[in-house]
Structure 1
Amino acid sequence: MTAVRATVRTVLGDIPPDGLGVTDAHDHLFLRSPLLAGQELDDVAAARAELGAFRAAGGEAVVQWTPYGMGRRAAELPGVSRAAGVHVVCATGLHQAGHYAEETLAALRGRLAEVFVAELTKGIGTSGVRAGLVKVAGGFHALDAHARWTMTAAAEAHHATGAPVAVHLEQGTAAPDVLDLLCGALEVPPHRVILGHLNRFPDPVLHQQAARTGCWLAFDGPSRAQHATDWRMPEAVRALADAGFGGQLLLGGDTVTAGARSVNGGPGMPYLLRRVRPRLAAGLGEELTDRVLRENPARAFAVEWA
């Protein structure tokens, strides 16, 4: 019998984990939401240029967390990836209810897990591009009915495929509730859960409580200047590494508006490597920083696909 090998599912096909390279573990090339009207990421040429700038800064892979119904433009992703020479992993999943029209959500009732599984295994729409993770979202210090619905569907999709489940923590909160639901009641293994935006709620006790479960800890959004907690991110990462959790850390840029792109004068994707990486290396050392950018995402997003 042939052994099943873990692979990372990119928009150009499955690759071995060690082929991923230096990775922005949470970002966006395309994104559209009524909550960000007028700030859409929907320009293909700009996406290609931004990915090229990330490549020029030393980047080799980007994980796009844009989920279902938020302008992923899956059909454009292979060309953008190929032109820039950067691996791209895209997501299925569902964000908070406020990002969708009610009729969109109504059409998904009773079939959400089925949609997630189809996008992971068959492809997104007619694009032929398969998603490599499921992205869902919690609420501010709590989980509402919508979050529980989407996370239940995400867990079903994980059990059917093995895909990791990445969670937007609203302002970095509700991690215990997310873990209780996903890893407790829904039995998703903690090493298949990625908690996003922990930098927005720099509580070292909460961070270590989450880390002890074995989940992934993503500090994703250092390029967003409106987050007053960003200056504490290196301190929080160092504390987790010192406590023995360096093997569970991920870093990302989370560029969500056109104005935040480097090609439009913002920090964008390159900021992660141009500014954040050397700052972390000064505190963590080059070896651990490189591990967080290379080895950790290779393990976090590698799946023995069912």
Structure 2
Amino acid sequence: MIRTVLGDIAPEQLGVCDAHDHLFFRTAMLPGQELDDADAALAEVRAFAAAGGQAIVQWTPHGLGRRADLLPGISTSTGVSIVAATGLHRAEHYPPGFVESIRDRLAEIFVTELTVGIGNSSVRAGLIKVAGGFHLLDAHAELVMRAAAEAHHATGAPIAVHHEHGSGADAVLDLLVDELAVPPSSVILGHLNRFPDHYVHGELADRGAWLAFDGPSRANHATDPWLLESLSWMVDDGYADQLLLGGDTTTARARAATGEGPGIPYLLTHLRPRITRHLGQEVADAIFTTNPARALDAEWRDGGTVPA
């Protein structure tokens, strides 16, 4: 099943999916560009739905303004399924002392948000968002990933990974898969378009993980010219069934409905037609529909507890 903010659904119910985005997101790293306007979020999702979108995965993790209480209403109003996240981002996204105050109970927090609810709501997360470092894993990244692996084993939830400038994904798999026994089919490697190395991407795909490319995002627009080429390389090498695509809208300015765009709808109004033209309808269907449903599908264990 796939865990959405309105409850669990069968994978075939997910439909056309933006596999990595943000409706709400607050971080000191992007001052003045907070995504915290409920009306703007609703307008963006409505525009996505009008373009044929049926599901959005919000990768905003614990402590960064997810507004979980608002997500069910947006989903109901638009007919778009929303998957929320637990987990933790890189330390610099949080105020001083925040991470230290919860470091000993990260796995417990993740499991609770996956199986009971986020904050005081009954909205449950459907994946665990974590973050690596630049080309390697620092102490914070390793701490969070170990907690995420515990939560995965307790619940079955998939793990989605932010990679700093798209790097260090090999180190992530070394830890999560090789050492901590998380199945590679439960690991989504994000931001790979920010490190457009065909050979690296092939090596990651060989290890069985999901490869997530995101864009365009104003914060990382320099990678956009390589997006289609990166996808084409993977398709040519036989990895079309491991590819995911998301918009990763991280700033108010990047919204289509209330900012300068291109926003979430761009995935379907511009990128999907290009992918269809150049890579074929079958590949487009895999990237936007079949693959997200498989990547988010989990055998949920709601009675799971974190190992002592």
**Which residue pairs with 2:274 in the alignment?**
279
How many residue pairs were aligned?
300
Identify the match of residue 253 of structure 1 among 247, 259, 264. Answer: 247
Encode CA deviations 1:228-280: one digit per residue, 9 max, x unaligned.
Answer: 22111111111111111111000000000001000123100000111111111
Residue 137 of structure 2 corresponds to residue 143 of structure 1: yes
1:26-175 counterparts in 2 under 5 A?
26-175=20-169
What is the Cα-based RMSD across aligned positions, in Å? 0.9
| In structure 2, distance between residues paired with 1:205 and 1:259 | 34
Identify the match of residue 244 of structure 1 among 214, 232, 238. Answer: 238
| In structure 2, distance between residues paired with 1:84 and 1:48 | 8
| In structure 2, distance between residues paired with 1:221 and 1:160 | 32
Residue 216 of structure 2 corresponds to residue 222 of structure 1: yes
Encode CA deviations 1:159-212: one digit per residue, 9 max, x unaligned.
Answer: 001100000011100011111011111111100000000111100000000000
Deviation at 1:109, TM superposition (A): 2.0
Give the fraction of aligned pairs with identical amino acids, expressed as a percent: 62
**Which residue pairs with 1:304 in the alignment?**
299
| In structure 2, distance between residues paired with 1:204 and 1:129 | 38
Q: Which ranges in structure 2 are unaligned for 5 or more consecutive residues?
A: 302-308
Structure 1 contact 255–261 (Cα < 8 Å) conserved: yes
| In structure 2, distance between residues paired with 1:138 and 1:225 | 18
**Which residue pairs with 1:183 in the alignment?**
177
**Which residue pairs with 2:264 in the alignment?**
269
Structure 1 contact 139–169 (Cα < 8 Å) conserved: yes
Structure 1 contact 222–276 (Cα < 8 Å) conserved: no
Deviation at 1:226, TM superposition (A): 4.3
Deviation at 1:84, TM superposition (A): 1.3
| In structure 1, distance between residues paired with 2:219 and 2:57 | 21
Paired amino acid for 1:276: L
Structure 1 contact 63–88 (Cα < 8 Å) conserved: yes
**Which residue pairs with 1:204 in the alignment?**
198
**Which residue pairs with 1:3 in the alignment?**
none
Encode CA deviations 1:1-38: one digit per residue, 9 max, x unaligned.
Answer: xxxxxx11000000010000000000000000011111
Structure 1 contact 223–271 (Cα < 8 Å) conserved: no
Paired amino acid for 1:304: E
| In structure 2, distance between residues paired with 1:20 and 1:247 | 17
Encode CA deviations 1:96-134: one digit per residue, 9 max, x unaligned.
Answer: 000112321122121100000000000101110000000
Q: Which ranges in structure 1 are unaligned for 5 or more consecutive residues?
A: 1-6
| In structure 1, distance between residues paired with 2:223 and 2:81 | 30
| In structure 2, distance between residues paired with 1:271 and 1:225 | 16
Identify the match of residue 288 of structure 1 among 283, 286, 298. Answer: 283
Paired amino acid for 2:270: R
| In structure 1, distance between residues paired with 2:31 and 2:2 | 33
